[in-house]
Structure 1
Amino acid sequence: MLFIYMAMLDSEDEKETFAQIYNTYSQPMYQIAYAVLQDVQEAEDAVQISFEKIILHIDKFLDTPCSKMRSLIVIIVRNTAVDLMRKRRSIPMDFEDEAVQTALDLTACDEDHMNREMLVHAIGQLKEKYASALELKYWHGFTEREIAAFLNISAKAANSRLVRGRVMLRKLLEQEANQFDK
């Protein structure tokens, strides 16, 4: 399968980056997809679709540091799996899975570690659709159009999720700050 994906890429940098992603993340991607879908074939489909999305946006992955790469890939495969579940089973989804949340755990190496932890914690409390949009925008630097493509929604819906997510995030951070002051 890797050979087929590699044929879709142009430059050696793209091929090298994709091969690294494939070799490092294909198994964790499958585990995440399976945790959501609970079906072997559907999980494999979700991983394949996720790899196709990665190929379409491979330029975004060329300079992405390893710490951000993992969270970005988790967002892509998780949302792809949820989309498949909704389409194939027509079941409304409010997915909370400890394994996926653990996979999203981001660590910071800078002096602003405490603020980042608070931010990560607050984003983790948001509904998944808002959290994913915010993570793609602010941790990975994607545009609204790119976010829309990754989440399989319109650009207008991506914008709406970002606006609503920021409002909810602001409220959560204010509540945490008020609790901290007490």
Structure 2
Amino acid sequence: MIVILLGVISNDEKDLINRIFSKMNVKMYNISFNILRSHCDAEEAVAQTFLKITDHIEKISVLPCPQIEPYCVIILKNETMNIIRKRKKTVYVEDVDYFDHNNKSCDTEEEYLKTANKEKLLSCVNRLSDEEKNLIYLRFVNNMSFKHISELLDITEEAAKKRGQRILKKLRLYYEEGENNAQYN
């Protein structure tokens, strides 16, 4: 927000940033918190998102009104993913203590299979186009209805449902391809 204070951007761009902030700040925080499960990280993701919005306000200001919100949500998603990537590189002392002192019996093979299945599913999702990933993200990570997704993407609700069905079918196909390839190795 320093850019706003220094007056580097025009009044129209300031107004647009303020409108986006007023309209989406709480929504962005909730989306980010649902993914990250940390108040501090969610606030960081939202702050970084608004810095990116400020940096790219010229590009955002020329977008049609219905496309501004999805564009900003995608920026938030990317910032949230950056925080998750940073987390993966960090091992917290609490986690080490938990694994060292956990008295429950742990079935290593079962844990491995769960992890392998998640990784396989993630690799299948990574094969999707960005547009398909965004629809999956909105539907399953943000738990949005097809009606809301259709409004964000400026398409009919039926088109959103059909796209969702096609993407899930494609994911099943990718997943099964992976299983079939694993059988022959």
Query: Number of paired residues?
Result: 127
Give runs of aligned pairs for residues 13-162 of structure 1, distance below 5 A. Answer: 13-90=12-89, 94=122, 98=140, 100-102=142-144, 105-107=149-151, 113=156, 116-117=159-160, 120-121=163-164, 125=168
Instruction: Tell me if structure 1 keeps the 8 A contact 2:67–2:153.
Output: no
Match of 2:183 in 1: none
Across the aligned residues of Structure 1 and Structure 2, the Cα RMSD in angstroms comes to 3.9
Among all aligned residue pairs of Structure 1 and Structure 2, give the percentage whose two residues are the same amino acid.
24
TM-score by length of 2: 0.53
Match of 1:160 in 2: none
Query: Residue by residue, what CA displacement relative to the aligned partner does 1:157-177 show, whole Å, maximum 9, x if unpaired?
Result: xxxxxxxxxxx79x99xxxxx
Which structure would you say has the larger Rg? 2
Q: Which runs of 4+ in 1 moved over 6 A?
A: none
Distance in structure 1 (CA, Å) of the matches to 2:157 and 2:30: 30
- Greater share of helix residues, 1 or 2? 2
What is the deviation of 1:6? 2.3
Query: CA 1:113 to 1:38, structure 2 compared with 1: closer, same or farther past 3 Å?
Result: closer
- Which runs of no fewer than 5 residues in structure 1 stay unpaired? 127-167, 173-182
What is the deviation of 1:71? 1.2
- Which runs of no fewer than 5 residues in structure 2 stay unpaired? 91-117, 123-135, 175-185
Instruction: Tell me if structure 1 keeps the 8 A contact 2:70–2:153.
Output: no
Q: What amino acid maps onto 1:89 in structure 2?
A: K
TM-score by length of 1: 0.54
